[in-house]
Amino acid sequence: MAASRGPPLLGFRALALALLLAILLLLGCSAAAAYAGAEGVLRQVVGRRGDDGGGGNFFEPFNVTYDHRAVLIGGKRRMLVSAGLHYPRATPEMWPSLIAKFKEGGADVIETYVFWNGHEPAKGQYYFEERFDLVKFAKLVAAEGLFLFLRIGPYACAEWNFGGFPVWLRDIPGIEFRTDNEPFKAEMQTFVTKIVTLMKEEKLYSWQGGPIILQQIENEYGNIQGNYGQAGKRYMQWAAQMAIGLDTGIPWVMCRQTDAPEEIIDTCNAFYCDGFKPNSYNKPTIWTEDWDGWYADWGGALPHRPAEDSAFAVARFYQRGGSLQNYYMYFGGTNFARTAGGPLQITSYDYDAPIDEYGILRQPKWGHLKDLHTAIKLCEPALIAVVGSPQYIKLGSMQEAHVYSTGEVHTNGSMAGNAQICSAFLANIDEHKYASVWIFGKSYSLPPWSVSILPDCENVAFNTARIGAQTSVFTVESGSPSRSSRHKPSILSLTSGGPYLSSTWWTSKETIGTWGGNNFAVQGILEHLNVTKDISDYLWYTTRVNISDADVAFWSSKGVLPSLTIDKIRDVARVFVNGKLAGSQVGHWVSLKQPIQLVEGLNELTLLSEIVGLQNYGAFLEKDGAGFRGQVTLTGLSDGDVDLTNSLWTYQVGLKGEFSMIYAPEKQGCAGWSRMQKDSVQPFTWYKNICNQSVGDTIKFMHAY
């Protein structure tokens, strides 16, 4: 588990900030009063509506507007820190503690996408329970006195399966996603209206005493709009007007949409957004996705973004005129069940976020950013007071200062006795060298690639390159399962004598090919999703091939084997001959060529198509599909190649163990379990073990390779 920040260090940081605030008051800046006024409605929590927030308002109702400088909460400009938490990527039991950690870390706002395929798994059938209980989540956010930024989309991307689109959507005749297409626009409008109506009914908008202060329509559409030509432009304008017509009473945003209409705030998504400006002077500068980490793919490295660089990017954003910044992600969480996007994105969505996948604070990132947020809040009175641009001072070839104050500041002399509200940011954008700069009658040492924050234009409260938070310490129990070696990936190694894991594993073989009564036969290769309708990632294809004695003699004389070729597969294809695994291929629409061993007479050829997350990003998503494309051919026969594409194929959706829920404790009778023989790991076998025998919990997985 994460080590807590040590008392001496924590005490020093708190004392330093307290002393700085006292200095500001002595200087006559009245920062505390100004900050309390600016915070305004945020802490005016009227009451908690029970555990999930029933009865009464959370806030005194307030309006949300904006000007060129900032979002206005109850008529007052705010410098807002937002942080991403996707409610389905955590369990409802985790939500309260996560939200509390967001608040403790200095967040004012929690941001989340709304996931269409989770809320409408079948056309017209809505689901708002368990991990998809959006109303409960919103009320828990409000109960902590935090605001909510709701990114309805309904296209999310988010490394979420199919970008959040329900798979049934692609079956609507004539549909084309995210363009000027009437069937798509009708479904999109129905869903967005459903969400907005639900939020109104639950009184979750700010003017109703709820937490929602911002909404998003579409998502990064500007990245792909050009693929659709003028139809894309018309669609974008339609989406904006449709959203505005829902009369939500709060602002809408579009991220990465440089041609967003005047009524919609265009925003930035990137690793750095300090140079971003919206497409109109009348709009504030908002950073909807500050990528403080990145997602991971199967077989890839786990991305890492240093806390110092993340803090530098955020400080520069507020230094250069930003007003609302959102961490994507502050807590990434887990892609439960089949929600991971694709191709080949892993089930963890940890994202190197300040709070890790398990809800543990990731130090020093969480603590360093918390200190940054405290320093920014100390600057808020000065930041919101500037109507135009801050004072800009060139301090060196790669050093500069931005000064925010209620009046002109003479930066050559001391600030002692100055009654103005004044805050400054000193930046050194040299990545390698320290710099010494002179301003306010003092010398300041700036580390490479750093920003120093001076809430009173004199004392440094925070520097992005100087970490005062403790590093996390993690330990791994000796009883944890591990792979024995890279050279023997098929052998499961168990550490004996561990307190939590027994040395006995049990196995159950998965049936190859057809296993249930709902299989069917048809001529030809069918598209994967058209058959499975997204109820499983697995689809079996089985046919029979007759081999003559002449073929066997031909292979023997040539010393070769025949091969099965498939023009294109995605994401995983496995080839079985007479019930035995012959080979596999992994990739996104790549070809497969697999030598196979056939015998004289009838041979059963079985193909398994596996999806590892549907495509979640890009244009023309509805056309991507899954499974096999092109020809399926048996090559190397004595009389030439045989085209199997239009043969009679038997189809079976899913794995037997999957549909029997062999992994559930209450379903143990659905499979015959036998003791695993030592060093006998076999493909397509389910494995279980007792994990903490006093409780009787089990761990299970299927070995596919």
Mean pLDDT along residues 68-92: 98
At residue 174, the pLDDT reads: 98
Query: Confidence band (pLDDT; 50, 70, 90) for 390?
Result: very high
Residue with tokens 């409605």: 41
Q: List 342's β-bridge partners, or say none.
A: 615
Query: Residue 650 falls within a domain, yes or no?
Result: yes
How many domains, in total, are found in the chain?
A: 3
Our separate counts of H helices and E strands in the chain read 12, 32
Higher pLDDT, 7 or 601: 601
Query: Confidence band (pLDDT; 50, 70, 90) for 703?
Result: low
Inter-axis angle of helices 7-26 and 365-385, nearest 10: 10
At residue 408, the pLDDT reads: 86
Mean pLDDT along residues 400-421: 85
Least confident span in 284-293, 471-480, 558-567? 471-480
> Looking at the predicted structure, is the pLDDT value of residue 6 above 50?
no
Query: Confidence band (pLDDT; 50, 70, 90) for 482?
Result: very low
Mean pLDDT along residues 558-573: 96
Least confident span in 74-78, 186-190, 438-442, 479-483? 479-483
Question: Could you tell me which of 579, 578, 573, 574 has the C-alpha nearest to residue 512?
Answer: 579
**Average pLDDT value over all residues in the chain:** 88
Query: Residue 498 falls within a domain, yes or no?
Result: no
**Pair of tokens at residue 486:** 């890279």
Higher pLDDT, 584 or 415: 584
> Does 345 lie in the same domain as 411?
no
Query: Confidence band (pLDDT; 50, 70, 90) for 694?
Result: very low
For 406, counting Cβ atoms within 10 Å of its Cβ (0-12 exposed, 13-18 middle, 19+ buried), the class is middle
Distances in whole angstroms, Cα of residue 76 to Cα of each of 72, 249, 385: 5, 17, 10
Question: Could you tell me which of 111, 50, 43, 37 has the C-alpha nearest to residue 78?
Answer: 37
> Does 402 lie in the same domain as 340?
no
Distances in whole angstroms, Cα of residue 439 to Cα of each of 394, 409, 443: 10, 11, 7
Mean pLDDT along residues 152-158: 98
At residue 691, the pLDDT reads: 67
Mean pLDDT along residues 132-146: 98
> Does 300 lie in the same domain as 256?
yes
Query: Confidence band (pLDDT; 50, 70, 90) for 672?
Result: confident
> Does 81 lie in the same domain as 127?
yes
Pairing of strands 462-463, 450-454: antiparallel
DSSP-assigned letters across all residues of 129-188: SGGG-HHHHHHHHHHTT-EEEEEEES---TTBGGGG--GGGGGSTT--TTSS-HHHHHHH
Query: Residue 688 falls within a domain, yes or no?
Result: no
CATH of the domain at 616: 2.60.120.260
Question: Could you tell me which of 310, 204, 210, 220 has the C-alpha nearest to residue 268?
Answer: 220
> Does 612 lie in the same domain as 555?
yes
Domain range for 330 is: 59-358
At residue 689, the pLDDT reads: 83
> Does 132 lie in the same domain as 177?
yes
Higher pLDDT, 291 or 680: 291
> Does 309 lie in the same domain as 200?
yes
Higher pLDDT, 354 or 419: 354
pTM of the predicted model as reported, rounded to 2 decimal places: 0.88
- Dump pLDDT digits (tens) for 100-126: 999 999 999 999 999 999 999 999 999
> Looking at the predicted structure, is the pLDDT value of residue 160 above 60?
yes
**Pair of tokens at residue 297:** 């793919």
At residue 477, the pLDDT reads: 40
Question: Could you tell me which of 551, 491, 619 has the C-alpha nearest to residue 224?
Answer: 619
Query: Residue 157 falls within a domain, yes or no?
Result: yes
Of 304, 333, 358, which marks where a domain is finished? 358
> Does 549 lie in the same domain as 419?
no
At residue 25, the pLDDT reads: 33
Instruction: Compute the distance between CA of residue 274 and CA of residue 254 in angstroms, rounded to an integer.
Output: 18
> Looking at the predicted structure, is the pLDDT value of residue 23 above 70?
no
> Does 347 lie in the same domain as 396?
no
At residue 669, the pLDDT reads: 76
**Pair of tokens at residue 216:** 């998003």
The catalytic residue positions are 220, 289
> Looking at the predicted structure, is the pLDDT value of residue 486 above 70?
no
CB 87 within 8 A of CB 112: yes
Of 335, 358, 381, which marks where a domain is finished? 358
Question: Could you tell me which of 420, 396, 322 has the C-alpha nearest to residue 77?
Answer: 322
Task: Dihedral sign for Cα 167, 171, 176, 180, please.
Answer: negative
- Dump pLDDT digits (tens) for 276-323: 999 999 999 999 999 999 999 999 999 999 999 999 999 999 999 999
C-alpha gyration radius of the chain: 30
CATH of the domain at 240: 3.20.20.80
Query: Confidence band (pLDDT; 50, 70, 90) for 701?
Result: low
**Pair of tokens at residue 443:** 């010398």
> Does 284 lie in the same domain as 205?
yes
Query: Residue 258 falls within a domain, yes or no?
Result: yes
Query: Residue 273 falls within a domain, yes or no?
Result: yes
At residue 574, the pLDDT reads: 98
At residue 497, the pLDDT reads: 42
> Does 344 lie in the same domain as 301?
yes
Mean pLDDT along residues 515-540: 96
Of 310, 339, 358, which marks where a domain is finished? 358
Query: Residue 373 falls within a domain, yes or no?
Result: no
Query: Residue 69 falls within a domain, yes or no?
Result: yes
Query: Confidence band (pLDDT; 50, 70, 90) for 471?
Result: low
> Looking at the predicted structure, is the pLDDT value of residue 43 above 70?
no
Compute the CA torsion angle 143, 147, 152, 157 (nearest 10 deg): -100
> Does 566 lie in the same domain as 419?
no
> Looking at the predicted structure, is the pLDDT value of residue 42 above 70?
no
Compute the CA torsion angle 672, 677, 679, 684 (nearest 10 deg): -20
